[in-house]
Chains A and B, each alone.
Chain A
Amino acid sequence: AQSVTQLDSQVPVFEEAPVELRCNYSSSVSVYLFWYVQYPNQGLQLLLKYLSGSTLVKGINGFEAEFNKSQTSFHLRKPSVHISDTAEYFCAVMRGNAGGTSYGKLTFGQGTILTVHP
């Protein structure tokens, strides 16, 4: 089984400041890693994903994340945030090889609410 821990439930930051949202995971098998963003009253939007290869992954809206296998972490970063980045962010894992034609399930962290202040 997999588990995900998002280390901060809320992160306040000022506009144009850098931000890091922390995510640790636990799994006995290889995993795929994802970050999703959720704006109020909306579904989840995929920000970026790590499947294999380069440990630095770039996503949409200027976000990037670094996969660290030894520390089992997948922290999300943005060098300069905007007011529009205010949202809830979810880290998720999925088994790297679900086998057959099953794509497996996502296991989510509890979410981090990012609030960007002017």
Chain B
Amino acid sequence: KAGVTQTPRYLIKTRGQQVTLSCSPISGHRSVSWYQQTPGQGLQFLFEYFSETQRNKGNFPGRFSGRQFSNSRSEMNVSTLELGDSALYLCASIGTNRDGYTFGSGTRLTVV
């Protein structure tokens, strides 16, 4: 079956702009999580959605937001971009705890 699909793969944005990243989970998976990966901070949890509801949120400013649609697809939005937002953003979906999360290939965001 198809894996987790993230679009776009690469993005270059200017400081102050906003960006929206998209994630399509594995078919049948209702839980989607987002992570930010940077060389300095490593992998950090952003938020988790289940059935269109945000279940958990990491320690990120309010500029980072997300949502999940009825078909389980998810988007995350970052407003007023800062240079420090440059990172690989990873989306993951899960069927049950026992499966473990399956990750997408990520979106590489560069803020200039």
**Interface set of A (CB-CB < 8 Å, partner B):** 32, 34, 36, 41-46, 49, 51, 90, 94, 96, 98, 101-111
Cβ of A36: which chain B residues have Cβ within 8 Å of it? Answer: 103
Q: Does B97 lie within 8 Å of A32, measured CB to CB?
A: yes
User: With A43-B90, A43-B105 given, can you name 8 additional A-B contacts, CB distance below 8 Å?
Assistant: A34-B100, A43-B106, A46-B100, A94-B97, A102-B50, A103-B50, A103-B94, A104-B56
Q: Does A105 lie within 8 Å of B50, measured CB to CB?
A: no
Nearest first, the 6 A-B pairs at minimum CB distance are A43-B103, A108-B43, A44-B103, A102-B55, A105-B45, A43-B105
Q: Does A49 lie within 8 Å of B56, measured CB to CB?
A: no
Cβ of B55: which chain A residues have Cβ within 8 Å of it? Answer: 102-103
User: Is the CB of B58 closer than 8 A to any CB of chain A?
Assistant: yes
Q: Does A51 lie within 8 Å of B50, measured CB to CB?
A: no
Identify which of B43, B51, B103 contacts A45 (C-beta below 8 A): B103
Cβ of A94: which chain B residues have Cβ within 8 Å of it? Answer: 97
User: Is the CB of B1 closer than 8 A to any CB of chain A?
Assistant: no
Q: Does B94 lie within 8 Å of A101, measured CB to CB?
A: no
Q: Return A115 CB to nearest CB of chain B, in Å.
A: 17
Contact with A along B81-112 (1 / 0, CB 8 A): 00000000010101011101111111010000
Interface centre among A34, A45, A108 (most CB of B within 10 A): A108
For the complex, what is the distance from the CA of A101 to the CA of B94, rounded to whole Å?
A: 11
Q: Does B104 lie within 8 Å of A106, measured CB to CB?
A: no
